[in-house]
Amino acid sequence: MAISVVVAVDPIADELVAKITERMRVLRVGDGREPESEMGPLVTAAHRERVAGYVDAGVEEGAELVVDGREPGIAGDGFWLGPTLFDRVRPEMSIYTDEIFGPVLSVVRVESFEAAVELINAGHYGNGTAVFTGDGGAARRFTAEVEVGMVGVNVPIPVPVGYYSFGGWKDSLFGDSHAYGPEAFHFFTRRKVITSRWPSPATGAGGVNLRFPGNS
């Protein structure tokens, strides 16, 4: 959902990694108050060290570190960590299994469309995912087969508009209702159910007859 993992279906992986690398190397990291800045610092020193620790772990676990953002060389105050790119990440690595919440992108290579869907469905989480393709048949099959609560087609962050429910499946869902949309209205509404049966006046059935001022 936070674009932390890219699943590249071969033979596109080499070209894709090269394009991402090219973009990352010119990404302007700096003070968010400056108009030329495209990415700011992390929120705290502790979080910066946590994210850098994941980069260290990725290297130790054998992923290929293509762009290293641990020393961005930025002057001034701030908990700086530049964009970081890993290639040839495996599903058992911590940079794949954990949500890093930092500028770290992992590329996992698979041999086929089927392997990509199987990889996604095997995960414990199912918040959001997206497919990028020019093939309408592939997009239709992906949206039908993937086990994720929010799906995008050529949309990087598949957050739906407000009148549709927001939320994931599996371990990405807490409780039994999603946020936003009809489910949110139901969650915040205390409903009352009334069952009525009116006898015919011809039966002469008695009962409560409320009289209000002005009524005979």
Q: Are residues 102 and 195 in the same domain?
A: no
**What domain range includes position 98?**
1-111
**pLDDT exceeds 60 at position 216:** no
Q: Are residues 103 and 122 in the same domain?
A: no
What is the distance between the alpha carbons of residues 77 and 129, in angstroms, rounded to a whole number? 35
What is the distance between the alpha carbons of residues 92 and 140, in angstroms, rounded to a whole number? 29
Instruction: Fill in the amino acid letter for 115.
Output: A
The CATH number for 28's domain is 3.40.309.10
- Domain C-terminal end among 75, 92, 111: 111
Q: Are residues 16 and 105 in the same domain?
A: yes
Q: Are residues 75 and 118 in the same domain?
A: no
Q: Is the pTM of this model over 0.85?
A: no
Q: Per-residue pLDDT tens for 157-185?
A: 887 776 666 677 677 766 667 666 777 77
Q: Are residues 14 and 99 in the same domain?
A: yes
Q: To which residue do tokens 């961005």 refer?
A: 72
- Domain C-terminal end among 111, 143, 162: 111
Q: Are residues 88 and 68 in the same domain?
A: yes
Residue pair 108/8 in contact (Cβ under 8 Å)? The answer is yes
Kindly state the tokens that stand for 137.
């048949």
Q: Are residues 76 and 132 in the same domain?
A: no
**pLDDT exceeds 90 at position 187:** no
How many beta carbons lie within 10 A of that of residue 136, not counting itself?
9
Q: To which residue do tokens 């299994």 refer?
A: 97
What is the distance between the alpha carbons of residues 106 and 65, in angstroms, rounded to a whole number? 9
Any idea how long the chain is? 216
3-state per-residue secondary structure call for 38-98? CECCECCHHHHHHHHHHHHHHHHCCCEEEECCCCCCCCCCCECCCCEEEECCCCCCHHHHC
Q: Are residues 79 and 118 in the same domain?
A: no
Q: To which residue do tokens 């700086």 refer?
A: 80
> Is residue 216 situated within a structural domain?
no
- What is the band of 125 on the pLDDT scale with cuts at 50, 70, 90? confident
Kindly state the tokens that stand for 150.
């929010």
> Is residue 215 situated within a structural domain?
no
Q: Per-residue pLDDT tens for 35-84?
A: 999 999 999 999 999 999 999 999 999 999 999 999 988 877 899 999 99
Contacts of 143-152 with CB under 8 Å at 24 or more apart are: 145/117, 145/121, 146/117, 146/120, 146/121, 147/120, 147/121, 148/120, 149/173, 149/178, 150/1, 152/128
Q: Are residues 82 and 42 in the same domain?
A: yes
- Domain C-terminal end among 49, 79, 111: 111
Average pLDDT over residues 122-126: 87
Structural domains counted in the chain:
2
What is the distance between the alpha carbons of residues 210 and 204, in angstroms, rounded to a whole number? 17
> Is residue 214 situated within a structural domain?
no
Q: Are residues 4 and 100 in the same domain?
A: yes
Backbone angles phi, psi at 6, to 5 degrees: -110, 125
What is the distance between the alpha carbons of residues 115 and 120, in angstroms, rounded to a whole number? 9
**pLDDT exceeds 80 at position 207:** no
Q: Are residues 44 and 128 in the same domain?
A: no
